[in-house]
A and B are shown apart, each in its own frame.
Chain A
Amino acid sequence: MTRLGALTGWLLCLVFSVCTAATELASPSVLEKSLAELSDTLKSDFDLSLLPELRALRRDAQAIDALEIVAQTLLLEGQIRQQYGDYQQSLILHNDALQLAIKRNDLALMAQSRLAIAKLEMDLERYNYAQRSLDDVHQLITQLNNHAQTMPYVAQLLLLEHRLWQGYLYVLLGSYHQAVAELHTDDLVVAGAPELVDKLYLVRAWALLKLGRFQQAQPILNRVAQSDTLIRNQRMKIRFKLLQSMAWLQSGDFQQTLETAMPALEATFATRFLEEQADLQFVLSNAYVQLGDYQLAHLYLKRYALTKDALNFQKRNNKLLQLESQYALATQKQQLSLLEKDNALQAQEIFRHQQILENTRLAQQRGALLLILALALLGFLYWRWQNKRYLSLLEEQVKQRTAELDERNRQLQALSYSDSLTGLHNRHYFFSEADKLLTQARSASQSTIFCLIDIDLFKQINDSYGHATGDLVLQQFAEVVTKELREQDELVRWGGEEFLLVMPQTDMLTAQQVVERLHNAVAQFSFCQDSQPLSCTCSIGFAAFPLRLAEAQLGSWEQVLELADNCLYRAKHGGRNAWVGLNLPAQPLGMTLQQLQQNLDAFTVSSTKLAG
Chain B
Amino acid sequence: MICVLGRQMKFLVLLLLVVSQCAKAHNPLIVDIISSENFSQRYQAFLQGRSVLDITDFRPSTQGSHIEIIEMVLLQQALFLGGETREVVFNPKPSVNILEFTDMIAGESLILARTVWHEDVINYRGSVYVSDPVVKFGEYEAGIYVAKRNQALHQTTPDGLEQLTLVANPRWRVDWHALTNSKMNLVSFIGPWESMLNMVETDIVDGMLVNFSVSESLQLVFEGRDYVPIEGVKMVLPDSRHFIVSKRHPEGAQIFAALNRGLKELRRRGVIRKALTESGFINSKVRDWSVINRAMLPQESRP
Interface, chain A (partner B; CB < 8 A): 127-128, 173-178, 181, 209-212, 214, 246, 249-254, 283, 286, 289-290, 292
CB neighbours of B296 from chain A (8 A): 174-175, 177-178
The closest CB in chain B to the CB of A286 belongs to B123
Of the residues B102, B126, B173, B183, contact of A250 by C-beta under 8 Å: B126
Are A175 and B125 in contact, CB atoms less than 8 angstroms apart?
A: no
Would B299 and A249 count as touching, CB distance under 8 A? no
Nearest-CB distance from B182 to chain A (Å)? 10
Residues B125 and A212 in contact, CB atoms below 8 Å apart? yes
Q: Are the CB atoms of A249 and B181 closer together than 8 Å?
A: no
Instruction: Tell me which of A174, A176, A178, A250 contacts B125 (CB under 8 A).
Output: A250
Interface string of B171-186 (1 = CB under 8 A from A): 0011011001101000
Bound: A165/B247 CA distance, A? 38
Interface flags, B202-220, vs A, CB<8A=1, else 0:
0000000000000000000
Known: A174-B177, A175-B238. A210 touches B122 (CB 8 A): yes
A320 to B: closest C-beta gap in Å: 15
Which of B105, B126, B130, B181 is the one whose CB lies under 8 Å from A175?
B181
Q: Do A249 and B177 touch (CB < 8 A)?
A: no
Chain B residues lying within 8 Å of A254, measured Cβ to Cβ, are: 126
Does the CB pair A252–B176 fall under 8 Å? no
Q: How far is the CA of A173 from the CA of B293 in the complex (A)?
A: 12
- Chain A residues whose C-beta falls within 8 Å of the C-beta of B137 in the assembled complex: 177
A177:B299 contact, CB within 8 angstroms? yes
List 6 tightest A-B contacts by C-beta distance, closest first. A252-B126, A174-B177, A212-B122, A177-B298, A175-B296, A290-B127
Asked whether B297 is an interface residue with its Cβ less than 8 Å from the other chain, the reply is yes
Q: Is B118 an interface residue (CB 8 A)?
A: yes
- B127 near A252: Cβ-Cβ < 8 Å: yes
Contact B183 A128 (CB under 8 A): yes
Q: Does B15 contact A (CB under 8 A)?
A: no
For B130, list chain A residues within 8 Å (CB).
Answer: 212
Chain B contact residues, CB within 8 Å of chain A: 102, 105-106, 118-119, 121-127, 130, 137, 173-174, 176-177, 180-181, 183, 238, 247, 293, 295-299
Contact in complex: A175, B122 (CB < 8 Å):
no
Which residues from B are CB-within-8-Å of A250? Answer: 122-123, 125-126
Residues of A within 8 A of B247 (CB): 252
Interface centre among B119, B125, B126, B177 (most CB of A within 10 A): B126
Q: Which of A174, A176, A178 contacts B176 (CB 8 A)?
A: A174
- Residues of chain B lying within 8 A (CB to CB) of residue A177: 137, 238, 296-299
Q: What chain B residues lie within 8 Å of A246 (beta carbons)?
A: 123
Please indicate the chain B residues that have their CB under 8 angstroms from the CB of A211 in the complex.
Answer: 118, 122
Contacts of A251 in B (CB 8 A): 125-126
Question: A122 to chain B: closest CB distance in Å?
Answer: 12
Q: Are B119 and A210 in contact (CB under 8 A)?
A: yes
Contacts of B174 in A (CB 8 A): 174
Minimum CB distance partner of A131 in chain B? B183
Contact of B126 among A176, A181, A290, A292 (CB under 8 A): A290
* A173 to B238 CA separation, bound complex (whole angstroms): 11
The answer for the CA separation of A250 and B173 in the assembled complex, in Å, is 19
CA distance A127 to B176 in the complex (A): 13
Residues of B within 8 A of A249 (CB): 123, 126
Q: Which residues of B contact A128 (CB under 8 A)?
A: 183
Q: Residues of A contacting B123 with CB < 8 Å?
A: 246, 249-250, 283, 286
Assembly CA distance A155 to B87 (angstroms): 65
Q: Which residue of A lies closest to B162 (CB)?
A: A128
In the bound complex, CA of A210 to CA of B177 (Å): 13
Cβ-closest chain B residue relative to A213: B122
Cα distance A290–B106 when bound, in Å? Answer: 7
Evaluate contact between A127 and B180: CB separation under 8 angstroms: yes
**Could you tell me if B295 and A286 are in contact, using CB atoms closer than 8 angstroms?**
no
Whether B122 contacts A178 by the Cβ 8 Å rule is no
CB contacts (< 8 Å) of B238 on chain A: these are 174-177
**A210 CA to B119 CA, complexed, in Å:** 7
A386 to B268, CA, bound (A): 120
A176 and B247 CA atoms in complex are apart in Å by 27
**Quick check: B181 and A174 within 8 Å, CB to CB?**
yes
A127, A128, A174, A254 interface centre (most CB from chain B within 10 Å):
A174
Chain B residue at smallest Cβ distance from A177: B298
**Chain A residues, CB < 8 A from B118:** 211-212
Q: How far is the CB of A518 from chain B (nearest CB, A)?
A: 135
Other A-B pairs beyond A175-B293, A211-B118, A251-B126, 11, CB < 8 Å = A127-B180, A128-B183, A173-B181, A174-B238, A175-B238, A177-B137, A177-B297, A212-B122, A212-B130, A252-B125, A286-B124
Please report the C-alpha to C-alpha distance between residue A250 and residue B118 in the assembled complex, in whole angstroms.
12
Residues of chain A lying within 8 A (CB to CB) of residue B176: 174
* A181: contacting residue among B121, B124, B181, B299, CB under 8 A: B299
Partner of B122, one of A173, A174, A209: A209
CB distance from B97 to the nearest CB of A (A): 14
Q: Which residue of B lies closest to A292 (CB)?
A: B106
The complex places the Cα of A254 from the Cα of B127 at a distance, in Å, of 10
Could you tell me if A174 and B173 are in contact, using CB atoms closer than 8 angstroms? yes
A289 x B125 contact (CB < 8 A)? no
Chain A residue nearest to B301 in the complex (CB):
A177
Do A289 and B181 touch (CB < 8 A)?
no
Listed by A's residue number, 24 A-B pairs whose Cβ atoms lie within 8 Å are A128-B183, A174-B174, A174-B177, A174-B238, A174-B296, A175-B177, A175-B238, A177-B137, A177-B238, A178-B295, A181-B298, A181-B299, A210-B119, A211-B118, A212-B122, A212-B125, A214-B125, A249-B123, A250-B122, A250-B123, A251-B125, A252-B247, A283-B123, A290-B127
Q: A290-B105, A292-B106 are in contact. Are A175 and B295 (CB under 8 A)?
A: yes
Cα–Cα distance between A214 and B118 once the two chains are bound (Å): 13
B180 touches A173 (CB 8 A): yes
Residues of chain B within 8 A (CB-CB) of A181 are 298-299
| Residues of chain A contacted by B105 (CB below 8 angstroms) | 289-290
Give Cα A249–Cα B298 distance, bound, in whole angstroms.
25
- How far is A495 from B183 in the complex, measured between Cα atoms in Å? 145
Measured CA separation A463–B299 after assembly (Å)? 171
Closest residue on chain A to residue B183 by CB atoms: A128
CA distance A253 to B126 in the complex (A): 7
In Å, the complex CA distance between A181 and B176 comes to: 21
Bound form: Cα–Cα A252–B129 in Å: 11
Cα–Cα, bound, A483→B232 (Å): 141
How far is B298's CA from A178's CA once the two chains are assembled, in angstroms? 7
**When chains A and B are docked, how far (Å) is the Cα of A335 from the Cα of B119?**
48
Provide the residues of chain B in CB contact with A178, threshold 8 Å.
295-296
- Chain A contacts of B298 at CB under 8 A? 177, 181
- CB proximity of A91 to chain B, nearest CB, Å: 22
Tell me, in angstroms, the Cα distance from A252 to B130 when the chains sit together: 13
CB distance from B300 to the nearest CB of A (A): 10
Given the complex of chains A and B, what is the CA–CA distance between A246 and B298 in angstroms?
23
Contact (Cβ within 8 A) A173 B297: no
Write out the residue numbers on chain A whose beta carbons fall within 8 Å of the beta carbon of B299: 177, 181
With both beta carbons as reference points, the residue of chain B lying nearest to A179 in the complex is identified as: B296
Roughly how many angstroms separate A250 CA and B130 CA in the complex, as a whole number?
12
A249→B124 CA distance, assembly (Å): 7
Residues of B within 8 A of A289 (CB): 102, 105
Rounded to whole Å, the gap between the CB of A405 and the closest CB of chain B is 102
Residues of chain A contacted by B173 (CB below 8 angstroms): 174
Residues of A within 8 A of B122 (CB): 209-212, 250
B residues in contact with A286, CB < 8 Å:
123-124
Instruction: Give the Cβ gap from B161 to chain A, nearest Cβ, in Å.
Output: 13
Which residues of B lie under 8 Å from residue A292 when comparing CB positions? 106
Which of A209, A251, A290 has the most chain B CB within a 10 Å cutoff? A290
| Distance, CA A181 to CA B297, complexed state (A) | 10
C-alpha gap A209/B124 in the complex (Å) = 12
| Contact between chains at A290 and B124 (CB < 8 Å) | yes
CA distance A211 to B181 in the complex (A): 17
- The answer for the CA separation of A290 and B107 in the assembled complex, in Å, is 10
Residue in A173, A246, A292 with the greatest tally of chain B CB atoms within 10 Å: A173
Specify the chain B residue showing the minimal Cβ separation from A282: B123
Inter-chain contact A174/B124, CB cutoff 8 Å: no
With a cutoff of 8 Å between Cβ atoms, the chain A residues found around residue B295 in the complex are 175, 178
The smallest beta-carbon distance between B133 and chain A, in angstroms, is 12
